[in-house]
A and B are shown apart, each in its own frame.
Chain A
Amino acid sequence: DIQMTQSPSSLSASVGDRVTITCRASQSISSYLHWHQHKPGKAPKLLIYAASSLQGGVPSRFSGRGSGTDFTLTISSLQPEDFATYYCQQSYSTPITFGQGTKLEIK
């Protein structure tokens, strides 16, 4: 199974900050890497697919980079609605696996 490791596990930041979350795969997954945002009591939401493509309707302050084993999700200027948990997910091989999540909290 491909292990997905996110860092950090939690992060405190302020509105307007630039934040970056890292996701590392235990083997190369090309660009089969996607990022989801999850808020309590809500359905998860796809932000970025194929490592760097912005899902329709997602604000441009979200961006993704990487290929192979190392990936990043960057939020250029945090907004109040961005405080949530973020998960990376690989679809290179079965079983599909998620990172453990990064909880983004208000400082």
Chain B
Amino acid sequence: EVQLVESGGGLVQPGRSLRLSCAASGFTFDDYAMHWVRQAPGKGLEWVSGISWNSGNIGYADSVKGRFTISRDNAKNSLYLQMNSLKVEDTALYYCAKDTGIAAPPGDAFDIWGQGTMVTVSS
């Protein structure tokens, strides 16, 4: 079964750091680009970051550039998001998503999504 499972969310104070992980299974992980997308409470979907199959191409939303770092370990079939200098406005459900192509960002469509991991930034 094709699956993405996020982990690492939680409650954190403003200014602190958190690292999200996404474990992939059921497909050849290093054949595809991957993304992080978030949804703040009561809001729509917002693309956060994307990474190509070999980490050679990486992109970020302006709202997280300089604070978040996306990475992947193809040997472990895993995607990561290191989040530093967290702000209250980073509070959201963070989804991992698989691209249908190899060379994102921007890439193609997101055909597989995880269930998400919740990040709450509050003092």
Residues of chain A whose beta carbon lies under 8 Å from any beta carbon of chain B: 1, 32, 34, 36, 38, 42-46, 49-50, 55, 87, 89-101
The CA of A94 and the CA of B50, in the complex, are separated in Å by 9
Closest 8 CB pairs of A and B: A49-B109, A43-B113, A96-B47, A34-B109, A94-B59, A101-B44, A98-B45, A91-B106
CB distance from B72 to the nearest CB of A (A): 17
The CA of A10 and the CA of B107, in the complex, are separated in Å by 29
Q: Known contacts A44-B45, A49-B108, A49-B109; is A96 also within 8 Å of B50 by CB? A: yes
B115 touches A43 (CB 8 A): yes
24 of the cross-chain contacts (CB-CB < 8 Å) are A34-B108, A42-B115, A43-B113, A43-B114, A44-B45, A44-B110, A46-B109, A46-B111, A49-B109, A50-B109, A87-B44, A89-B45, A89-B109, A91-B108, A94-B106, A95-B61, A95-B105, A95-B106, A96-B47, A96-B50, A96-B106, A98-B45, A99-B44, A101-B45
The CA of A88 and the CA of B27, in the complex, are separated in Å by 25
Q: How many residue pairs between the two chains, A and B, have CB atoms under 8 Å in the bound complex?
A: 72
Contacting A at CB under 8 A, from B72-121, are: 95, 97, 100, 104-111, 113-116
B115 touches A93 (CB 8 A): no
Q: Is B62 an interface residue (CB 8 A)?
A: yes
